[in-house]
């Protein structure tokens, strides 16, 4: 059963908390995580690139010269692909669909694998009393400075915290996430994950395998 350290708001270790092995101790399969991640990225992609075909460009309705007798190659329109300002052949269009189907169980497995990887690498820690009094950013900066956190950090809480949300709003390397909206991308983008003990229990209750 995996264990993680529990810190107080002063950055001192106050104990350890046992976590469920079927949630925070899952074997990591990189190919599964990669497949789910690429699927999520593809589904959020917008096909903004669009080129016009010869039928979408205005003009070119008149035949540029007669069919025979000029000595030049026959042409039917000045909007053909070989002409300047003509249409584009096989170019990207906004109708392209990048979406990929992601298996629900596979998506959940990838999330648990990412959390388990943070636990095994000691990049996930619990903080009792994680909040920001009066919504002051200085309080969050002070707290993070006392914890073994480096780089981008994800603060995971069990529910909505207006003060904490206001406090982290201006911090570029800190992202506040509730357990209800926690995703694989949030975990992978964070170098360290800081969560409350209640948030860890809520994640366990949502993803634990029923005996």
Domain ranges of the chain: 3-45+99-207, 47-97
Q: What percent of the chain has pLDDT over 90?
A: 56
Contact 13, 5 (CB under 8 A): yes
Q: What percent of the chain has pLDDT over 70?
A: 99
- CA 197, CA 129: separation in Å to the nearest integer? 9
Residues shown for the chain: 211
Assigned CATH class of 3-45+99-207: alpha beta
Taking only the tens place, the pLDDT of each residue in 3-54 is 888 988 888 888 889 899 999 999 999 999 999 999 999 998 888 899 999 9
| Cα distances (Å, whole numbers) of residue 120 to 1, 2, 5, 21, 38 | 11, 8, 12, 11, 24
Nearest CA-CA partner of 63 in 73, 77, 84 = 77
The DSSP secondary-structure symbol of 194 reads E
Nearest CA-CA partner of 170 in 129, 208, 136 = 136
Tokens of 115: 């959390």
Taking only the tens place, the pLDDT of each residue in 119-168 is 999 999 999 888 887 788 888 888 888 888 888 999 999 888 788 888 88
Mean pLDDT of all residues in 83-94: 92
């Amino acid at each position: 059963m995996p264990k993680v350290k529990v810190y107080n708001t002063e950055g001192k270790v106050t104990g350890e908390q046992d976590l469920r092995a079927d949630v925070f101790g899952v074997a990591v399969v990189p190919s599964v995580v990669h497949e789910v991640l690429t699927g999520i990225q593809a589904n959020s992609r917008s096909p903004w690139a669009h080129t016009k075909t010869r039928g979408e460009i205005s003009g070119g309705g008149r035949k540029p010269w007669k069919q025979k007798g000029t000595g030049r190659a026959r042409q039917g329109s000045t909007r053909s692909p070989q002409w300047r300002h003509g249409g584009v052949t096989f170019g990207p269009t906004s109708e392209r669909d990048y979406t990929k189907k992601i298996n629900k169980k596979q998506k959940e497995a990838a999330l648990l694998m990412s959390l388990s990887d943070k636990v095994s690498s000691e990049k996930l820690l619990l903080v009792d009393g994680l909040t920001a009094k009066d919504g002051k950013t200085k309080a969050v900066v002070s707290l993070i400075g006392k914890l073994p956190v480096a780089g981008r950090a994800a603060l995971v809480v069990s529910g909505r915290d207006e003060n904490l949300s206001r406090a982290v709003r201006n911090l570029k390397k800190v992202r506040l996430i509730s357990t209800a909206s926690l995703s694989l991308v949030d975990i992978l983008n964070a170098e360290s994950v800081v969560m409350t003990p209640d948030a860890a229990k809520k994640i366990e209750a949502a993803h634990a395998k029923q005996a």
